[in-house]
Structure 1
Amino acid sequence: MSHAPYRLAVIVASTRDGRFAPTVTGWLGTHLAERDDIDVDVIDLAEHPLPARLGPRPGPEDAALLDAVTPRLERADAFVIVTPEYNHSYPASLKELIDWHATPWQAKPVAFVSYGGLSGGLRAVEHLRQVLAELHAVTIRETVSFHNPWGAFDASGRHLDEEAGVRAAGAAKVLLDQLTWWAVSLREARAARPYAA
């Protein structure tokens, strides 16, 4: 059994101007910093535009865009997707990432931290579960969701409501503990035998 930290890719899905994603990602980062069993790589889709046109062979410019992201997804043992909910679903930028990269998700766990209005982004999460199941990923049951979070955090990502902050921190611990179990278990399984997709 390996005790080396596993590689976690945190995918920041929103690319909109004025997005709230950096605040939520910062909040998650404070909880990830407390763990010595996770090696974190943050992939912010606002900093990594992807080709808009899908095809079997990307041209040189498109290949350069993909080269900035693809190896990082392939190296990851697990993923956390930080996503808002747009029109009862998840952002187009995230769908582009998924559609360009079918295989890096296979036999790897995915967890979700979502935010939005009354639903807290959970409708986006439920759509993502269906898509990622098609790509042979394992989605973690537990999620962290923030309902109407605007104005609820300070500049450092700390929740202003102490009681809500304690609940969210507890949810983050459960999510990361489950993700860690799956990440290490599936890493060992992939090392022992290739996954049959």
Structure 2
Amino acid sequence: MRRHLPTVTATVTAAATAALAGFVLAASAPALAHDGHDHDDPVTRPAASAAHSRAGAGAELARMRRDLARYTDVEVALADGYVPVSPCEVSPEGGMGVHYLNPALVGSTDPLAPAVLLYEPTADGGARLLGAEWFAVDADQDLATDDDRPSLLGRAFDGPMLGHSPDMPVHYDLHVWLFEPNPSGVFAAWNPRVDCQG
């Protein structure tokens, strides 16, 4: 079942549509291109990085959870530029929730600045924070190449993949389930514990 949060207004929906259209323009922006292999970046450096170790990644995930906890209040997310751009997404593999996008953060690989926050509608009409998603536009829009694949905490983004709507370009993304445990894994795209039922 898919449904929108009941509080989404026509104004927010218009902003979300504009944000999605911005993805297409962002595809040509060089600032959004990442090679995913920056060995001087302490967050994405392979085995030598503390963040790449199990203990290092655990500590970094805990730091992300602490910093992003302010978004448990969806009004804080809205004030910071996040707008809902999807219904509550579910599949046979589980759910993702409602995607709240901050267009200014598309392409970010900063662990504390995700482009997307994931919320599940609650029975009282509110929204419960589940996790975050980092989203980057594929520079050449070619599914056959991935030389600009970003990474976070030593984990390569999923993709490149087709957009999920006509306005969304070929992209990479990485889901991180910081606030809702995921039996499929902290970086899995779908979470079987998320059902969008409120």
TM bin (shorter chain): under 0.3
Output the TM-score relative to the length of structure 1.
0.23
Higher strand proportion: 2
Q: More helix by proportion, 1 or 2?
A: 1
